[in-house]
């Protein structure tokens, strides 16, 4: 391991940035990193499938009414207006 670090230092040691880039490139091309990324992709795929199945098995929610129900004061004022209208018609 030390020999490998010495080799990298001689090749990229003049710049800390270049040394960091070399280490990232080496990690990116490693087999372990590739397996971890593949595992994460498969896990996300399985999670999407499970989520779709759970949503499909859940009962659908009732749709809300197109207009909200009137409050008691609104209902009272409507009744009063209806009574006044009915009184004038008779």
Split into its structural domains, the chain has a count of 1
Judge contact between 2 and 13, C-beta under 8 A: no
Has residue 10 been placed in a domain?
Answer: yes
Has residue 66 been placed in a domain?
Answer: no
Distance CA 80, CA 74 (A): 10
- For each of the chain's 90 residues, which pLDDT tens digit applies? 688 777 777 777 778 888 888 888 889 999 999 999 999 999 999 999 999 998 888 777 766 666 666 666 677 777 766 666 656 555
Distance CA 72, CA 78 (A): 10
Has residue 43 been placed in a domain?
Answer: yes
Residue-level pLDDT at 81 = 67
Question: In the structure encoding, which two tokens stand for residue 72, read together?
Answer: 């008691």
Residue-level pLDDT at 16 = 81
Has residue 65 been placed in a domain?
Answer: no
- Please state whether 59 falls in left (phi above 0), alpha (psi between -120 and 50) or beta: beta
Has residue 70 been placed in a domain?
Answer: no
Contacts of 22 (CB under 8 A, 6+ apart): 8, 11, 12
Phi, psi of 43 (to 5 degrees): -60, -45
Domain around 2: 1-60
The single-letter DSSP state of residue 40 is: H
Distance CA 44, CA 40 (A): 6
Has residue 67 been placed in a domain?
Answer: no
């Amino acid at each position: 391991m030390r020999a490998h670090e010495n080799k990298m230092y001689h090749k990229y040691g003049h710049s800390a940035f270049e040394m960091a880039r070399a280490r990232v490139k080496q990690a990116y091309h490693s087999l372990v990193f590739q397996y971890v990324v593949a595992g994460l992709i498969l896990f996300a795929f399985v999670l999407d499938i499970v989520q779709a199945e759970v949503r499909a098995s859940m009962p659908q929610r009732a749709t809300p009414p197109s207009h909200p129900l009137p409050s008691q004061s609104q209902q009272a004022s409507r009744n009063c207006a209806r009574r006044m209208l009915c009184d004038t018609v008779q």
